[in-house]
Amino acid sequence: MKFSLSTGTLYVYPLRTVFGWARAAGFDAVELVVNPEAIFRGGKAVRQMATEEGIEILTVHPTVVPLPGWRERSGGMDRTISLTRETGAGVVIMHTPRSARLDEDEGLAFRRRVDAWQPRLRESGLRLAVENKAVRSSTDLSYALTPPERLRAFADEHDLGLVLDTTHAGTAGEDLLKMQRVFDGRLVNVHLSDMGGQLWHLPFSRLRAAFGEHRFPGAGDLSLADLLRALAVSGYGGPVTLEVHPFALRFWWPPAVRRRLAQALGWMKRAAAG
């Protein structure tokens, strides 16, 4: 497997800085999260910058802030796919629709977009992958592609890759090893972060909920080490991408960021080696 860093984890920093820090810490690659700099520079320039910093862009993730024209559910995926092609990445990630059915409304529109994109993507060698959804309400549970088995069946039907987000799985109460088995054969990326753990020092329940997700590996309650060992044993060769909350890396202090990146990667490698 390859160890990757999500640039969204350090969204406030210039991409060159994030690329350099990732490489210095020992990461093999990055997942590019679409941001204003990537849009302004264009994919080819971002790819060149990554090459100069000695890091590979393996995957591209849609914007995580509502950038005009780039929002995933408002037509922005077409632009994201074009940008991904320019970067040379092999996988572009998308998210499941907020719909209980796939034959009407947003669910039907989602299916039609996937069907329209797939022929063009196959020609270019770009893989479209869909990520498992976080569950924070009963409504989220009712969506058609929230259950991992249904998501796998949809991926089989439409020849999609799958992305396993460990915190999203944790919010849904899913067992990580079971999800790894369900996704096996179509897994193209793992978004690694922890969830839960000791948060007694935070004063409000909403703060505890917010900071209890996408935590530093080993800080929470998820069986991340077991998952990494299982991936290594299975021969998984794709990226495992560190995708933690900026606070988990102490983003406000660059020396701490560099130290935390190295610590996270060391933890991931030790866990994978068993």
Tens of pLDDT, residue by residue over 87-98, are: 999 999 999 999
Query: What's the CA gap between 93 and 231, in Å, rounded?
Result: 20
Regarding the domain with residue range 2-273, which homologous superfamily does it belong to in the CATH classification? Divalent-metal-dependent TIM barrel enzymes (3.20.20.150)
Sequence-separated (6 or more) residues with CB below 8 Å from residue 144: 96, 97, 99, 100, 101, 102, 107, 150
| pLDDT tens by residue, 145-187 | 999 999 999 999 999 999 999 999 999 999 999 999 999 999 9
Q: What is the dihedral of CA 168, 239, 89, 148, to 10 degrees?
A: -40
| pLDDT tens by residue, 180-192 | 999 999 999 999 9
pLDDT number for residue 73: 86
Sequence-separated (6 or more) residues with CB below 8 Å from residue 40: none
3-state secondary structure at position 131: strand
| pLDDT tens by residue, 98-122 | 999 999 999 999 999 999 999 889 8
Choose among 21, 20, 26: nearest CA to 2: 26
pLDDT at 210 over 70: no
**Burial per residue of 103-117, b for 16 or more beta-carbon CB atoms within 10 angstroms, e otherwise:** eeebbeebbebbeeb
Choose among 13, 97, 92, 7: nearest CA to 55: 7
Choose among 265, 165, 173, 274: nearest CA to 230: 274
CA end-to-end span of the chain, whole Å?
Answer: 14
Sequence-separated (6 or more) residues with CB below 8 Å from residue 100: 107, 142, 143, 144
